[in-house]
């Protein structure tokens, strides 16, 4: 549950999935960025719908996000709540929209902003 709120990406990172530390989120431009934004929007809508339905699904294809699928499973403690997981075409699991956006290189990898601040030093 805590990992879901932090945008945990399992099995591989955005760097492994084609993103790099040098290019980061700014490496997408033009049509490529528009396409990735469209996929991210479709993933967000699918995740919201799945959470609202609260019905267990395994590997449901996400419309308008070719190769992506969604899983929703109830939590062990019950209460009608559950967790959604987006699965990228390469099998990478993203437990939040933000993690999926990092995978798509629309946002910098986790820790990139903090490490940039450490190099730049404190601001006043």
Structure tokens at 81: 């709540």
**pTM of full prediction above 0.85:** no
Per DSSP, the chain holds a count of helices (H) and strands (E) of 4, 5
CA–CA distance, 70 with 47 (Å, rounded to integer): 7
**Tens digit of each residue's pLDDT, the chain (124 residues):** 333 333 444 444 333 444 443 444 557 789 999 999 999 999 999 999 988 888 888 899 999 999 999 999 888 887 778 889 999 999 999 999 999 999 999 999 887 655 555 555 555 5
Instruction: Summarize pLDDT for 40-73 with one digit per residue, the tens.
Output: 999 999 999 988 888 888 899 999 999 999 999 8
């Amino acid at each position: 549950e805590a990992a879901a709120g932090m945008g945990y990406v399992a099995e591989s990172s955005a760097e492994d999935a084609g993103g790099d530390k040098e290019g980061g989120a700014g490496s997408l431009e033009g049509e490529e960025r528009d396409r990735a934004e469209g996929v991210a929007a479709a993933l967000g809508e699918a995740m919201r719908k799945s959470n609202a339905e609260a019905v267990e699904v395994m590997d449901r294809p996400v419309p308008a996000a070719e190769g992506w699928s969604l899983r929703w499973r109830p939590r062990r403690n019950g209460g009608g709540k559950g967790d959604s997981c987006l699965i990228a075409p390469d099998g990478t699991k993203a437990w939040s929209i933000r993690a999926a956006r990092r995978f798509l290189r629309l946002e910098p990898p986790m820790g990139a902003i903090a490490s940039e601040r450490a190099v730049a030093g404190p601001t006043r």
